[in-house]
Amino acid sequence: MGIYTGVSAVSFLLAATVLDNLPVHDQKKSALKLATSAFQHLISDARQTCLSIITLYSGMEQAFFIDSFTSSFINCGFGPEWIGYIMIFYGVGNSLFSFIWGYLDGKLGRVFVFISGFILNLVLILSVIFEWVYPNPNHIEWLFIYGVGWGACDAVWQSNIHSLHGSVFVKNQEAAFSNYRLFKSIGSLIAFGYANTISTAEKLYICLGTLIVGIIGYILCEIIHARRYQINDEEEEQKSYLQDEVHSDKDTEDSEDIHEL
């Protein structure tokens, strides 16, 4: 508890002293207006609709590892005393790969990061479904490695989906982040809701299906976003060309007037 309090205090001090202040909007929206604008944004912007499933998955996968994996694989196979140690490795992997994915995002682009996270998460899910990884009393190190790997995947879904909403929906961030929080919370709610009613294998299949549909939605979002930017760039080029033509015609008329004089 003391470590948690200390880390929270340091986090608060860093946020208060290091981060830049966000612009304050004078107009305050009521909860109803915010919910309405978020829903309108969800159904009117195809990019937000496409991102809803991968955002849903980000809540589901986190809940699966925290609840189902720890109870089915660690607690049943090795005892509750090992849960904390493996969760430490999960947290270390999450923190470390947040920096690694951020660096790769800047060098290779966010599409590379999302596809890499998808492949890694797919391999981890399939390794449990096909029992490549299972609670073997002689190989507890498998679960430590698995925890680091799942933390690396979680770093993609938590940090990069969040930053994706900020970079894609620049003009409507309030509604975009409202949808982000909504679908992530729904994903966690669903996963914790069926935690005690279905088997671990069924939970894995649900995660697998949601992951595949979610990454397809993300790819569609990138395609729509790229086309929208291309159309905007073409419109800007056309406006610039027309302005140059107007200035050219005006300069020609001025020069003709000077010659007449």
Instruction: Dump pLDDT digits (tens) for 167-224.
Output: 888 888 888 999 999 999 999 999 999 988 999 899 999 999 999 999 999 999 999 9
pLDDT band for position 40 (50/70/90)?
Answer: confident
Q: Considering only 39-43, 178-182, 208-212, 226-230, which range has the smallest mean pLDDT?
A: 226-230
Q: Is the pLDDT of residue 137 over 80?
A: no
> Over the chain, what is the mean pLDDT?
83
Q: Cα separation of 184 and 58, whole Å? A: 6
User: Structural domains in the chain?
Assistant: 49-234 (1.20.1250.20)
Out of 20-24, 115-119, 159-163, 220-224, which region has the weakest mean confidence (pLDDT)?
20-24
> Who has greater pLDDT, 210 or 6?
210
Q: Is residue 30 scored above 80 in pLDDT?
A: no
Q: Which two tokens stand for residue 207?
A: 């995660």
Q: What is the pLDDT of residue 260?
A: 56
Instruction: Tell me the residue type at 117.
Output: G
Q: In degrees to the nearest 10, what's the CA dihedral of 209, 210, 211, 215?
A: 110
Report the C-alpha gap between 235 and 242 in whole angstroms. Answer: 11
Q: Confidence class of residue 255 from pLDDT cuts 50, 70 and 90?
A: low
Q: What is the DSSP string of 44-81?
A: H-HHHHHHHHHHHHHHHHHHIIIIIIIIIIIIHHH-GG
Burial class (CB in 10 A: 0-12, 13-18, 19+), 56: buried
Check whether 252 has a pLDDT greater than 70. no
Mean pLDDT of 65-91: 90
Between 135 and 88, whose confidence is greater?
88
User: pLDDT confidence of 35, banded at 50, 70, 90?
Assistant: confident
